[in-house]
C-alpha cells in the first residue's frame, strides 16, 4: 500500500467505477436532449471478474474506503450483483451506487443482499411534464417506485437533482417537499460544464445562492458542518429535513477531493476536469500501477472545477 498525496494533501480513498457508458434516459445535461436519444454502447460489457480484478489491484495500492458504482446506468450492467459481491469480498464494506432508479424496484432487495449499502437516485423533477423535459422520458412513477423499493429494502437513499435555469428550477421546493415527506436527503447540483455543455453551461447555471433563496421562501434552515472530502454542503430545516447543494461553480469541493475514477474501458482518471485516460489492464506490476496512479494524481486541478469535453455518461456520473 502506498501513501499517495499531492501538494494539497489530497489522496485517493474513494473509487468511482463506471460500469458501462449506456443509459436508458436522455437527460439534457448528458445528451443533446432529443426525445429518441439514448446512449447505447454496443461494445461487450466488461466481465465482472475483470472489473473486480482492476478494483482489487487499486485497493491493494490505495486501501480504498468507498466504492461507488456508476454509469451510464449501472442497473443495465448484467453482472451488477456479482461485482458488488466481488467488491465486498475484497473487504470493502462501503459500496454505493448512483442510479436513475428506472429499474430499481425489481433489483433493490437483491442488491442490498449482495452488499450494496446506499443509492443516490437521480431525480430532477417531481412533476411529470418537468420530468419529461429533463429526461425525455415519461415514466416518472418508475423512478418514484424505485426510490420507495430502495427505502423498503433498507438501503440508504439520497436524491440528486441537477438544477438548470429555465428548465427545472421551479422543481426545487417540490423536490424538497418530497424528500422531507420520505425522510431522505436531497442534494441540488449546479449544472456541470461537461460534455456538450463544456463552455456552454453558464446560461443554465442556477447558483447555490439562487437555490438557497428559493428554499428560503418556504423554509427556515441552518447550515451544517461540512464533512471532509464531501461534495455537498448541507443545511437542515427547522422541521428536521436535510438538503445539500453541490456547488460546482459557487463552492467547488476540489480542495480535499479524494476520488479516483475508473471508466468502462478500464481507464483511470484523477479528476473530472481532465479527459486524458490512463489505461489500466489489471495486470500491472506494483511499480507500474504506482506510476499510473502518480499520473492520475498529477491530473488533479488546483482548487477549481473547470469541466471537460467528456460526458458524465462516459466518465461516470
Q: Rounded CA gap, 98 and 315, in Å?
A: 13
- Residue 3 included in any domain: no
Identify the pLDDT of residue 37.
Answer: 47
DSSP 163: E
Identify the pLDDT of residue 306.
Answer: 66
Contact status, residue 267 vs residue 17, Cβ threshold 8 Å: no
Mean pLDDT along residues 22-41: 69
Mean pLDDT along residues 128-150: 95
% of the chain surpassing 90 pLDDT: 68
Identify the pLDDT of residue 288.
Answer: 95
pLDDT bracket for residue 49 (50, 70, 90): very high
pLDDT at residue 237 above 60?
yes
pLDDT, tens digit, 9 for 90 and up, residues 189-211: 998 766 666 566 678 899 999 99
% of the chain surpassing 70 pLDDT: 88
Determine the distance from the C-alpha atom of residue 277 to the mean position of all C-alpha atoms in its chain, rounded to a whole number.
Answer: 19
Contact status, residue 185 vs residue 191, Cβ threshold 8 Å: no
Which grid cell sits at 60?
491493494
pLDDT at residue 119 above 90?
yes
Answer with the residue of higher pLDDT: 310 or 96: 96
- Residue 6 included in any domain: no
Nearest of 254, 226, 260, 227 to residue 64 by alpha carbon: 260
**How high does pLDDT run on average in the chain?**
90
Pairing of strands 66-70, 186-190: unpaired
- Residue 175 included in any domain: yes
Between 33-37, 105-109, 154-158, the lowest mean confidence (pLDDT) is in 33-37
- Residue 4 included in any domain: no
Q: Name the domain count of the chain.
A: 1
pLDDT, tens digit, 9 for 90 and up, residues 290-308: 999 999 999 887 766 666 6
Mean pLDDT along residues 253-275: 89
pLDDT at residue 120 above 60?
yes
pLDDT at residue 144 above 60?
yes
- Residue 78 included in any domain: yes
Mean pLDDT along residues 162-177: 97
Answer with the residue of higher pLDDT: 40 or 79: 79
Residue 110: count other Cβ atoms within 10 Å of its Cβ: 13
Burial class (CB in 10 A: 0-12, 13-18, 19+), 215: buried
- Residue 5 included in any domain: no
Q: Rounded CA gap, 10 and 256, in Å?
A: 6
Vertex 19, ends 15 and 23: CA angle to 5°?
125
Residue 33: count other Cβ atoms within 10 Å of its Cβ: 16
Task: Give the domain range for residue 29.
Answer: 14-315
Which grid cell sits at 20?
458501462
Q: Rounded CA gap, 194 and 29, in Å?
A: 8
DSSP 44: P
pLDDT at residue 314 above 90?
no
- Residue 36 included in any domain: yes
CATH of the domain at 53: 3.20.20.70
Nearest of 144, 104, 116 to residue 24 by alpha carbon: 104
Determine the distance from the C-alpha atom of residue 285 to the mean position of all C-alpha atoms in its chain, rounded to a whole number.
Answer: 30
Contact status, residue 259 vs residue 14, Cβ threshold 8 Å: yes
DSSP 157: E
- Residue 115 included in any domain: yes
Identify the pLDDT of residue 8.
Answer: 76
Pairing of strands 118-122, 156-163: parallel
Report H helices in 34-76. Answer: 48-62
Amino acid at each position: 500500500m502506498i501513501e499517495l498525496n499531492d501538494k494539497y494533501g489530497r489522496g485517493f480513498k474513494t473509487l468511482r467505477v463506471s460500469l458501462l457508458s449506456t443509459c436508458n434516459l436522455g437527460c439534457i445535461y448528458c445528451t443533446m436532449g432529443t426525445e429518441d436519444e439514448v446512449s447505447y454502447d454496443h461494445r461487450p460489457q466488461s466481465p465482472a471478474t475483470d472489473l473486480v480484478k482492476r478494483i482489487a489491484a487499486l485497493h491493494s495500492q490505495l486501501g480504498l474506503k468507498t466504492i461507488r458504482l456508476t454509469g451510464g446506468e449501472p442497473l443495465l450492467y448484467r453482472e451488477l450483483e456479482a461485482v458488488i459481491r466481488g467488491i465486498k469480498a475484497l473487504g470493502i464494506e462501503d459500496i454505493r451506487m448512483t442510479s436513475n432508479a428506472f429499474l430499481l424496484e425489481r433489483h433493490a432487495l437483491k442488491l442490498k443482499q449482495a452488499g450494496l449499502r446506499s443509492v443516490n437516485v437521480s431525480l430532477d423533477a417531481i412533476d411529470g411534464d418537468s420530468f419529461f423535459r429533463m429526461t425525455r422520458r415519461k415514466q416518472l412513477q418508475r423512478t418514484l417506485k424505485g426510490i420507495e423499493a430502495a427505502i423498503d429494502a433498507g438501503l440508504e437513499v439520497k436524491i440528486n437533482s441537477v438544477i438548470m435555469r429555465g428548465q427545472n428550477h421551479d422543481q426545487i421546493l417540490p423536490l424538497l417537499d418530497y424528500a422531507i415527506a420520505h425522510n431522505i436527503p436531497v442534494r441540488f447540483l449546479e449544472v456541470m460544464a461537461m460534455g456538450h455543455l463544456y463552455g456552454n453551461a453558464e446560461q443554465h447555471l442556477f447558483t447555490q445562492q439562487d437555490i438557497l433563496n428559493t428554499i428560503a421562501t418556504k423554509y427556515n434552515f441552518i447550515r451544517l458542518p461540512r464533512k471532509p472530502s464531501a461534495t455537498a454542503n448541507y443545511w437542515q430545516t427547522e422541521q428536521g429535513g436535510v438538503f445539500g447543494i453541490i456547488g460546482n461553480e459557487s463552492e467547488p469541493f476540489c480542495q480535499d477531493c479524494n476520488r479516483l475514477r475508473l471508466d468502462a474501458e478500464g481507464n483511470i482518471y484523477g479528476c473530472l476536469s481532465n479527459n486524458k485516460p490512463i489505461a489500466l489492464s489489471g495486470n500491472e506490476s506494483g511499480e507500474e500501477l504506482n506510476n499510473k496512479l502518480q499520473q492520475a494524481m498529477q491530473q488533479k486541478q488546483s482548487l477549481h472545477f473547470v469541466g471537460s469535453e467528456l460526458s458524465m455518461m462516459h466518465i461516470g456520473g
